[in-house]
Amino acid sequence: MKRKKSKLAELINGLNESFVPKNNQKVLHDDFTLYPKHLSLIKEQLLSCDEFKECDLKILSLPNIANSDGFVKISSESLAVTPGITFKGKIYIYSMWLTPEMYDPSLFLKKMEGDGGIIPIIYNPENFVPERFIFLKVNPEEMQDSASKQPPINPEHRLHSVLNKILNNPDDYRIKGDRHVIVHGIFQTIKFPGGKGKTNEIDEELLENYVIK
């Protein structure tokens, strides 16, 4: 069964695709980070995500809190929010960003659209030579009975036609990976899939002084 992408991942991936800064140049895929001023603008959208529905979400103005001597008293941590992770209690977020694309080889065929697909570059473990594979989708029964079809189907011509489409439009056939969200902040309680959890002691009184109102 295909695991559904979390609403948080859909939200942040969508922002990455559509966000255009003032210079009208799209943010690079590997350089997309949301900071406090951005998070404040989408706070209500974040609260609608399953990951944050049961927590008190606050936006921090600083990633780390130091005392008067400059020593860090409270430091943020980074957490990859994979499917099934949720937050409870109070959480203080400073930033969010996306991981690079990650690929699960067992899902390549499920992610393939149309008559074929191109997988990302992988490296041969024996000689580290980069390799890329192309998949072609065929119906063996249709190919076997091709001569009896009206009009007749030429299996070889059909395969060449699909391959040519893929080679001429590689971006349309590229099998995409998943990009998870990294949340950088201070979390009171994190719930993991399977019922496991992690609870941290936090200094709410001190942290409140650094929350964006």
3-state secondary structure 129-158: CEECCEEECCCHHHHHCHHHCCCCCCHHHH
| pLDDT given at position 2 | 41
Percent of residues, the chain, with pLDDT higher than 90: 42
| pLDDT given at position 159 | 85
User: Position of tokens 């603008």?
Assistant: 41
What CA–CA distance (Å, rounded) separates 132 from 136? 14
CB 52 within 8 A of CB 46: yes
DSSP letter for 178, please.
B
| pLDDT given at position 4 | 55
| pLDDT given at position 49 | 95
Tell me, yes or no, if the pTM score tops 0.75. no
pLDDT band of residue 151 (cuts 50, 70, 90) is low
| pLDDT given at position 114 | 83
Range 82-102 average pLDDT: 92
CB 183 within 8 A of CB 78: yes
Q: What is the pLDDT of residues 113-148, one digit of tens each?
A: 888 899 888 777 778 888 888 988 877 776 666 556
| pLDDT given at position 70 | 66
CB 14 within 8 A of CB 57: no
3-state DSSP call for residue 177?
Answer: coil
| pLDDT given at position 157 | 82
| pLDDT given at position 27 | 43
Encode 133-158: b = buried (16+ Cβ within 10 Å), e = exposed: eeeeeeeeeeeeebeeeeeeeeeeeb
| pLDDT given at position 199 | 95
What CA–CA distance (Å, rounded) separates 196 from 101? 27
CB 32 within 8 A of CB 16: yes
What CA–CA distance (Å, rounded) separates 73 from 191? 25
Q: What is the pLDDT of residues 153-197, one digit of tens each?
A: 677 788 888 899 999 999 899 888 888 899 999 999 999 998 889
CB 166 within 8 A of CB 160: no
Q: What is the pLDDT of residues 6-52, one digit of tens each?
A: 789 999 988 888 765 444 444 444 567 999 999 999 999 999 999 99
pLDDT band of residue 90 (cuts 50, 70, 90) is very high
Burial of 49 (0-12, 13-18, 19+ CB in 10 A): buried
| Ordered DSSP codes for 27-68 | PPGGG-EE-HHHHHHTHHHHHTSGGGTTEEEEEBS-SEEE-T
pLDDT band of residue 68 (cuts 50, 70, 90) is low
Whether 1 shows a pLDDT value over 60: the answer reads no
